Structure 1
Amino acid sequence: MNRPGRYWRLGRPALVVVLALVTVGIPLWLVLATSAKPQGEAVRPNLDPPGDWQPGANYADAFSEGEMLRGFVNSLLVIVPSVVLVLCLGAAAAWVFARRRGRLVAAAYAVCISGLLLPPAIITIVLQLRQLGLAGTRPGMIAVYTAMYLSTAIFFMTGFIRSIPFELEEAARVDGARPLRVFLRIILPLLRPVIATATIMVMLYAWSDIFYAFFVLGGGDAATLPINLYQVASAQLYLNNWHLVFAYVVLMSLPMIAVFVIAQRRIVSGITSGAVK
């Protein structure tokens, strides 16, 4: 091996570490350090370590002033039904798209996965929800999230189902199983890797969403965690309480960080299974 190639092979891991420290480590340290500083030190957020560490008091104040418990419950009341609907509708539609042939089916599949490329029109969404009486309600937010992430679920599940031998379904039908029984007993159990991936991806996206939640839900009693964060940041901006804002960011991120760390292998395996196979 020539010297340039050898140097590149040896220096590539170091380069990756340096890039990770710059792009991830510096912003992460800024958030953690500011969330542990007293108000006087956090007036202008910087990378200096706290002179007086007080993370406990900051997190407690952010938890109480930001109404995190209510926001956490509201987020779950929106995200959990959205995930269930995405999985149920996505799996059923993907089974049809994977097993049926024809121009009409291909056109329907193209329309369903077009959501991967076409961004939702927020103005149209809000107007439609108002006409249906769902604006500012949890069912309206659930409908928006379901429609937004259904394309992703259909795309990955369709690719995975096409890799499942059709003989398994034929054998079940020979034994007298109806389509619903075939779907529940054969297809769904085999879809576990992709279902786990879709669940985690929808949860990660919806948990941190503020754009659509702001226009659909607004504030009030149904406000989710990102909306509460926006309200806290807007209120504390004039008080220079950046230590509370960053403390709220840390607390809000902990559940999804834990989910991602625990299930990162399932995310990778589900994506490769649905996209490659």
Structure 2
Amino acid sequence: MTIAAAPVPADLRAPTRQPASRRRRGRGALQPVVAVLATLALLGVPFWLVVSTASKSQAEAFDPDLSPPGSWQLLTNVREVVTDGDMVRAFFGSVLVVAPSVFLVLVLGSMASWVLARRGGRGMAVVYALMISGIVLPPAVVTIVLLLRQLGLAGTPTGMVGVYTGMYLSTVVFFVTGFIRTVPHELEEAARVDGAGPVRVFFTVILPLLTPVLSTATILIVLYIWNDVFYALFVLGGQLDTLPLNLFRVASAGLYLQNWHLIFAYVIVMSLPLLLTFVIAQRKIISGITGGAVK
């Protein structure tokens, strides 16, 4: 004879746990939301501060905060900084320095990376270490200025281009050398069989394959050079006006003193070429990566 067990009351039963898969799905759905909110907080708040301050009047922008402007005056402030701040001349001064610097850094860095990637040995390893040491070793400003004075290049765009080329050549070598090592040797050998010399092999075979990595390097180098005011201040010495130098000059002279609405409007206009460069280069990076994946 068996005795049936008495039923356990519902309030005394052990709580059932949710399946592990359901908990993982809940965390997986929450993580993107947290990432988006953190990104908005880190990037959106400073961006809103710049835009809102640049859209205010002088009285509203005297103490910058996150409050929206009473009346939006962004276009008016932008028009004022373009006309009174002499931005057009400073813009062409920046282009005169940035364009040749980026071109020389990309071409010379790519050619040096090709040689370093294709030739092994302890000597080349030492040369590679010396070339990328410029990433961690800051250049001495006093030495640079004295050397340019000896060469007669101080205060000239040529001297400034030479300084930027030497400073950021290590960045391109670091990015490109590892990428070239993944390129098959058979592509170069096929071009040499067809009678192509080293220069032709580089420009017709190697350089087109470097579009993704060179686009990334272009974004970084343009960002560094376009916003540089420290080295340009010492090397150019007021002989050539770039956008950061022009903003520093007009702010120090009292034209924009305490006029935060004009300073932030100047920053917005100065950042527009960088945004365009980033958008264009980003598309090239994506197309290059997907094209390489299909191949």
Q: Same fold (TM over 0.5)?
A: yes
Q: Name which of structure 1's ranges 165-174 and 111-120 shifts more when overlaid on structure 2.
A: 165-174
Q: Does structure 1 conserve the Cα–Cα contact (< 8 Å) formed by 2:215 and 2:282?
A: no
The separation in 2 between residues aligned to 1:234 and 1:45, in whole angstroms, is 19
Q: Does structure 1 conserve the Cα–Cα contact (< 8 Å) formed by 2:77 and 2:265?
A: yes
The separation in 2 between residues aligned to 1:174 and 1:238, in whole angstroms, is 64
**How far did 1:268 drift?**
6.8
Give 2:230's aligned amino acid: F
Determine the structure 1 residue equivalent to 2:281: 263
The separation in 2 between residues aligned to 1:258 and 1:238, in whole angstroms, is 27
Question: Which of these two proteins has the greater Rg computed from alpha carbons?
Answer: 2
The separation in 2 between residues aligned to 1:16 and 1:258, in whole angstroms, is 25
Determine the structure 2 residue equivalent to 1:173: 192
Instruction: Establish whether residue 21 from structure 1 lines up as the match of residue 40 from structure 2.
Output: yes
Question: How many corresponding residue pairs?
Answer: 272
Instruction: Select the residue among 246, 249, 260 that pairs with 2:267.
Output: 249
Deviation per CA, 1:158-188, whole angstroms, max 9, x where unpaired?
Answer: 1121111112222222333222222222222
The separation in 1 between residues aligned to 2:50 and 2:82, in whole angstroms, is 16
Instruction: Establish whether residue 126 from structure 1 lines up as the match of residue 145 from structure 2.
Output: yes
The separation in 2 between residues aligned to 1:39 and 1:123, in whole angstroms, is 40
User: TM (normalized to structure 2)?
Assistant: 0.84
**How far did 1:196 drift?**
2.5
Instruction: Establish whether residue 229 from structure 1 lines up as the match of residue 241 from structure 2.
Output: no
Determine the structure 2 residue equivalent to 1:206: 225
- The structure richer in helix per residue is 1
The separation in 2 between residues aligned to 1:21 and 1:268, in whole angstroms, is 23
The separation in 1 between residues aligned to 2:132 and 2:218, in whole angstroms, is 17
Determine the structure 2 residue equivalent to 1:53: 72
Superposition map of 1:1-277 within 5 A: 1=20, 5-220=24-239, 222-236=240-254, 239-267=257-285
The gaps in structure 2 that reach 5 residues or longer are: 1-19
Deviation per CA, 1:15-53, whole angstroms, max 9, x where unpaired?
Answer: 222222222111111111111111111111111111122
Give 1:81's aligned amino acid: P
Q: Secondary structure at the match of 1:56?
A: helix
The separation in 1 between residues aligned to 2:204 and 2:140, in whole angstroms, is 38
Query: After TM superposition, which residue ranges in structure 1, 4 or more long, deviate above 6 angstroms?
Result: 268-271
Percent identity at matched positions? 59
Please provide the CA RMSD for this pair.
2.3
Q: Does structure 1 conserve the Cα–Cα contact (< 8 Å) formed by 2:211 and 2:284?
A: no
Q: Does structure 2 conserve the Cα–Cα contact (< 8 Å) formed by 1:99 and 1:162?
A: yes
Q: Secondary structure at the match of 2:77?
A: helix
The separation in 2 between residues aligned to 1:238 and 1:28, in whole angstroms, is 21
The separation in 2 between residues aligned to 1:18 and 1:257, in whole angstroms, is 22
The separation in 2 between residues aligned to 1:70 and 1:203, in whole angstroms, is 19
Q: Does structure 2 conserve the Cα–Cα contact (< 8 Å) formed by 1:37 and 1:55?
A: yes
The gaps in structure 1 that reach 5 residues or longer are: none
Q: Does structure 1 conserve the Cα–Cα contact (< 8 Å) formed by 2:61 and 2:261?
A: yes
